[in-house]
Amino acid sequence: MTSPSITLDMTPSGTIERLEWLAWVTDSAVRIPFTRRTVGADGALSLLPGVGSLLGAGISLYVVAEALRHGVPARLLTRMGLNIAADTLLGAVPVLGFVFDMFFKANRRNVTLLRRHLQETAR
């Protein structure tokens, strides 16, 4: 009996699909009651001072790694890195970090940047 193999779709569309899911989980998975705001795992992690923000940054770096794999230019990688840096630094501040995560969704921003780049290079 052979074990089933799992293959990842490494095409640009497969990458975006995977990263969209990741961005949803980290930035928007839970709607805050009585508001239109959402928060994800990154917001929950920001409640753990210091360590939570570093874990969130580590997850966010996966988006950058995928962008590198698809040949994103340095200018765009820098912008993605700045989004992660802002999220990490402000997310490390207790309470303020959680509120910040409701408004600034670094992974969603970075996936949008990557999607636009991939669409432009496909033309």
Question: At 31, which helix (H) or strand (E)?
Answer: strand 30-31
Vertex 22 angle, CA 21 and 27, to 5°: 105
pLDDT of residue 114: 98
Distance in angstroms (rounded) separating the CA atoms of residues 71 and 27:
25
Q: Give burial (CB, 10 Å; 0-12/13-18/19+) of 103.
A: exposed
Tell me the torsion sign for CA atoms 103, 105, 110, 113: negative
Identify the pLDDT of residue 3. Answer: 66
**What is the three-class DSSP state of 39?**
strand
Res 1: pLDDT: 63
Q: pTM score, two decimals?
A: 0.89
pLDDT in tens, the chain (123 residues): 666 667 788 888 999 999 999 999 999 999 989 999 998 998 888 878 778 888 999 999 999 999 999 999 999 999 999 999 999 998 888 788 888 888 999 999 999 999 999 999 887
pLDDT at 9: 83
Cα–Cα distance between 62 and 58 in angstroms, integer? 7
Decide: helix, strand or coil at residue 38: strand
Report the alpha-carbon distance of residue 63 to residue 61 in Å, rounded. Answer: 5
